[in-house]
Amino acid sequence: MRPFSLLLWFVAGALPALVANVSDLAAEFRSGQTFITWRQADEPHQRFDIHRNGEKLATVGAHTAINVMAVVDRMKLSNTRAPDVYELPERRTFVIREGAPPLALDQGLFVHTAKTQEEAEYAVTLSGEALTDETPRVRVRERVEFPQAVRQNDTDFVHWTDHIGTPLYPAMSSVPSVPYNFRVRAPQGSGPFPLIGFLHGALMDFTKTQIGGEAEAGAVRIALDSPIVRGEIAGLEGERWAAGAWYGYNENWGTDRPEESGRVVDYVARRVLWTLDWAEKNYPIDSDRVSLRGGSMGGIGSLVIGLLHPERFAAIHAHIPPLRMSSRAAPGGFLAMMMPIIPADFVGQLEASNELPYLLITAGRTDQIVGWPDKLEFAQALREEKRAFTLYWDLRNHDGTFSAEPPANLSGPAVRWGRNPGWPEMSVVTFSRKQSFPAFDAFSLDNDPGTVNFATRPNQRPAWDTPGAGDFVGSFNGALDWDRDTIVDRPDRWEITLRLQSFAPAERATVNVTPRRLQQLRPQSGDAFLYEWRNGDVVKNGETIADEHGLVTIRSVPVTRDGVRLTLQRR
């Protein structure tokens, strides 16, 4: 980690406690933010006004030193029903300067993000009390800088967001000084390394996020946090936390303005992007190999952020994501904030020239929580638009397991993709923004997804032998791969070696291939191209024309386990 720049430190601890319940006021500025602390009486429901240059800046509660979201079990909290309240397993306080001890439980904390270069004066009073000549104050010189997250322990960091933002730190919450945790796992060495952001599911948290397997161990991995908090916490009754899934929430949340007059702002998506920026400034990252992975709420969050900001990412992997919002979802409600776009509709409206990351989706045919038909709808939209993707499916339910009696004709485990060595999912670390990839269609070894929906309650699930059941374990494009190291992408030529995965059920297959995310070859509508595929001594030549969108498709390309070299040459 790069050290923070400590610019100025003022302490008013020597001043008498002339304002009831507030003493030992201090302010420390570094990396674009001022950390204001004070001592407060042990009255859990009292509130404090933060003043800057004589004007009230914010009102905060008495728990601001406690890192609530680092210790709360959100699932247990959500299952705690009134009149019961949830007891925090520990009251862990924030570290606000790396290497310093955590704050004391009787301290308060407010973090202000500097908007200008100036000297500022801060004061803290009990809420509603006016400033007087005797109110302790501290002065500190501020300037706009890129804020640094503060290390809490070997793996975890916290940063405090702002509601206005600066060119270096966008508004990432509707109110100021909101703390967010994230966890970093980084490999040893000088890099540059791929970077993966991991987004957890609803009622989960950054401490429980599964951050990849062996294939991802060589990447810098960040488990981000987006709290969904339901229930009352002992000592913090009445406190609320904004829930915006992985997109955002109402700009008037937590303010004195009515939410009915506010709009949903992408605060959370901005925070994800900023955290990735922070990682690139603090670790040796290959900025062209940045990806997102997530499950459930984090799955749709990864897709939404990837689709809205495709230029930032090499690949996206969404596990068990909901892909179409329920018709019962209230406009402006949580589901609408979780899914501001419907991926299938969004892809269908994109200009063909707007390139996307490679999209990977893993789904379960018995997942009654998020459903199954919307995955096929999305796959169809991607095919129609000649987008590059892979869809994996098996019989997993939403928690990734399968405990029912399996179909009699199923050979092998019911939950297979990414769990069995012989059935690997493609890893996001194999992609780069600076490298083209193939979009596949009409792959002759694609499995049959069926027409029967098994993603229902177990007591309502159709029989396994219902006509139209299809394949219980399968994929679209999952048995295909290509050599990354030998791709040729020049203004007049594109070459790639395609091959079948080891688990492919046949030695030979055919597929339509459309180059996407081309780096130098730039086809225009009507351009003519010669193609050649070579499989050992077998060679075939042909000609194809770029379509009205400038996309070039080579049809019925043979693919084998040993590999077939495909060449596209501008005529």
**In Å, how far are 225, 265, 287, 302, 368 from 246, measured between CA atoms?**
9, 11, 22, 8, 22
C-alpha 236/C-alpha 360 separation (Å) is 41
User: Rounded to two decimals, what is the model's pTM?
Assistant: 0.93
Instruction: Report, in this order, helix, strand and coil percent for the chain, each rounded to 5.
Output: 15, 30, 55
Mean pLDDT (the chain, rounded)? 93
Residues listed for the chain: 571
What percentage of the chain carries pLDDT values higher than 90? 86
Output the pLDDT for position 326: 57
Q: What is the sign of the dihedral through the CA atoms of 47, 53, 56 and 59? A: negative
Instruction: Give the separation between CA 226 and CA 290, rounded to whole angstroms.
Output: 20
Question: By mean pLDDT, which of 93-102, 277-286, 322-331 is the weakest?
Answer: 322-331
User: Tell me: the pLDDT tens digits for 252-305?
Assistant: 999 999 999 999 999 999 999 999 999 999 999 999 999 999 999 999 999 999
pLDDT above 90 for 11: no
For residue 41, the tally of other CB atoms under 10 A from its CB is 13
210 pLDDT tier (thresholds 50, 70, 90): confident
348: enclosing H helix or E strand: helix 343-349
CA-to-CA distance for 211 and 293, rounded, in angstroms?
9
pLDDT score of 330 more than 80: no
Q: What is the pLDDT of residues 360-394, one digit of tens each?
A: 999 999 999 999 999 999 999 999 999 999 999 99
CB 262 within 8 A of CB 332: no
Angle value at C-alpha 112, between 108 and 116, nearest 5 degrees: 155
If you average pLDDT over residues 176-185, what whole number do you get? 97
